[in-house]
Amino acid sequence: MRRALGTLICAVALLALPLCTRAPATAPHGLDVLGHTVLAAIASTTNADDALNRLGDSLVLMEARSRIAEAEAKAASASPPKPAESEAVSDPATMPAASAGSNGSISPSAAAKGGQIFAHSRAASAPGSSNAILLTGIALAPPDAPEAVKGAINNANEIVGRPYVWGGGHGSFYSNGYDCSGAVSFALFGGGLIPEPLASVPLESWGAPGPGRWITVYANAEHAFAEIAGLRWDTVGDAQGTGPRWHLAPNSHAGFVVRHPPGL
């Protein structure tokens, strides 16, 4: 017990360093939050090892949310871009050839076979939100998306094309391959929305019930996938194989529990 408590204290000291080394204007607040986090972790259990695990989860979320808050503050302080003299809004499907992508279809289109590749976006989106664009299999986040949504999209992009591996992404967020819930967890982690990987069954009770404005997770005992800014993030097979990828076409929601991160 004493050794575990000593480990807990050392861990707090080490994990506090990133917060302590921030700018002086934000350091007191960071240390205050850290103090509350430590007290909450210790008060939540009488087991020191369990307290250490809970503290680690809390600090992971604190760091992710701090990063997102800094990105939001930076975006808010940036000068808005000057509008072009004439800006035409057109259907993404009519955009000129750009680069390679499967478009999430079961078989390559005639344009893809001929080497003509386009950027695509789903036609409909949730009220009040914008759609991401699928380009070369990579999702481009809408400029007006919250930083948490952009973080989830950017994280998902990092593992596009990895193979499907049952249990992949659960022992650690970082893996050579991912299963369905591991891929969803990795995306949510990028948005500072979960501190550790979740299997499909825990995802059934994660977050808030119902679809979200920007992010919706669909889960049952056998599968899990997400829709983020109008694109489906899934490990089902397509022309490129099976594994974490973006898709334009929605999947059937029948038999899935529908959840979303509060506020998103």
Give the residue-averaged pLDDT of 132-150: 94
Q: Is the pLDDT of residue 242 over 90?
A: no
Question: pLDDT confidence of 172, banded at 50, 70, 90?
Answer: confident
Most confident of the ranges 6-10, 22-26, 51-55, 112-116? 51-55
In this predicted model, which residue has the larger pLDDT, 151 or 13?
Answer: 151
Q: Which positions ≥6 away from 139 have C-beta within 8 Å?
A: 132, 133, 153, 156, 157, 228, 229, 231, 246
Query: Is residue 21's pLDDT more than 90?
Result: no
* More reliable by pLDDT, 60 or 93: 60
Q: pLDDT value at position 262?
A: 95
Look at residue 50 and tell me whether its pLDDT is greater than 90: no
Between 108 and 1, the higher pLDDT residue: 1
What pLDDT score was predicted for residue 32? Answer: 54
Express as a percent the part of the chain with pLDDT over 90.
Answer: 43
| Averaged pLDDT score across all residues of the chain | 73
Q: CB of 203 within 8 A of CB of 184?
A: yes
Predicted confidence (pLDDT) at residue 185 exceeds the cutoff of 50: yes
Going by pLDDT thresholds of 50, 70 and 90, the confidence category of residue 193 is very high
Tokens 């992971």 belong to residue:
60
Domains, the chain, ordered by start: 2-77 (no CATH), 92-260 (3.90.1720.10)
Q: How many residues does the chain have?
A: 264
Q: What is the DSSP letter of 136?
A: T
Q: Is the pLDDT of residue 5 over 80?
A: no
CB count in 10 Å sphere of residue 151: 24
pLDDT tens digits, 70-111: 766 776 666 554 443 333 333 444 433 322 222 233 333 444
